[in-house]
Amino acid sequence: MASSPPPALGPAPGTAPTSPSRPGVLGSSPPPTTRAIYAALRREIVTLALMPGTKLSENELSLRFGTSRGPVREALIRLGEDGLIEVLPQRGSFVGRLSLPAIERARFVREALEIAVVRRAAELGLSPGQGRRAEASLDAQGEAGIDAEHFIDLDDAFHAGFAEGIGLGGVWAIIEREKTQFDRIRFLSLPAATPIDVLIDQHRAILRAVLDRDPAAGERAVRDHMAEVLKIVSDLPTRHPDLF
């Protein structure tokens, strides 16, 4: 590898430099190679391009990405820390299967944190700029329409906005980490998912509560919104038993 010209980063399907914002308070930027591998694999796992249970060989991956096993190994550690893969010593690394308890736990955590965030946002109020940006996001969400992946990005940004609005952007990083669990089922059940219009209405209700400075209404709106996930989940294990 040191003798031949390195062909840069590999022929991964979706190697967009997605940056799921390190949760840590400290900078600690991983080296670009490890980071790129992490981002690529993470994306593929979340979008179910890599199905749960798939074997991930360090050797194969290092071949595919054109590096040695070292950086691949470090990326796998990070993914393991995120609960996305499972490393069985001397046996192999596997894409983590979906787990109903894990999904319920993620829902619980997200609900608790978003309620706290929205409540505080309603108490403190948003700056005019933040309010305007939230409104703009709502419009953009309506226009996104069919493009589900784009809508998801806007969705995330909308929610993250409240955490940043109260000066606790780091909280969104934690939510994002947990959210991964139902991002996977979201991609699994995109057709059957809740109509986007309904989601946007719920977003609108949350924003209105915050702008009205009404914490209780905000909490109710968030609870409604989070309940949507439950509807999607219920019959999933019977429809896709191999993924659980």
Give the binding site for DNA (CB under 7 A). Answer: 1-2, 6, 30-34, 56-60, 67-71, 73-74, 87-93
| Binding status of residue 85 toward a second copy by CB under 8 A | yes
Of the candidates 78, 159, 184, 186, which one interacts with a second copy according to CB under 8 A?
78
Of the candidates 109, 138, 157, 199, which one interacts with a second copy according to CB under 8 A?
109
Q: Find which of DNA, a second copy, none residue 58 binds, CB within 5 to 8 Å per kind.
A: DNA
Q: Find which of DNA, a second copy, none residue 25 binds, CB within 5 to 8 Å per kind.
A: a second copy
Q: Find which of DNA, a second copy, none residue 96 binds, CB within 5 to 8 Å per kind.
A: a second copy
Q: How far apart are CA 120 and CA 162, in angstroms?
A: 9
Q: Find which of DNA, a second copy, none residue 113 binds, CB within 5 to 8 Å per kind.
A: a second copy
| Binding status of residue 112 toward a second copy by CB under 8 A | yes
Of the candidates 51, 157, 174, 205, which one interacts with a second copy according to CB under 8 A?
174
115-141 residues labelled b (16+ CB within 10 A) or e (exposed): bbbbbbbbeeebeeebbebbeebbeeb
136: amino acid identity, one letter: A
- Draw the binding track, 181-210, toward a second copy (x: CB under 8 A; -: no contact): x-----------------------------
Tokens read off for 18: 């997605």
- By DSSP bridging, strand 92-95 and strand 85-88 are antiparallel
Q: Which is nearer to DNA, 29 or 234 (CB)?
A: 29
| Binding status of residue 227 toward a second copy by CB under 8 A | no
Contact 46, 8 (CB under 8 A): no
Q: Which is nearer to a second copy, 55 or 105 (CB)?
A: 105
CA angle 220, 222, 225 (to 5 degrees): 110
**Widest CA span of the chain, in angstroms?**
65
- Judged by the rule CB under 8 A, the positions of this chain that interact with a second copy are 23-31, 73-74, 77-78, 80-83, 85-89, 96, 99, 101-102, 104-105, 108-109, 111-113, 115-117, 167-168, 170-171, 174, 178, 181
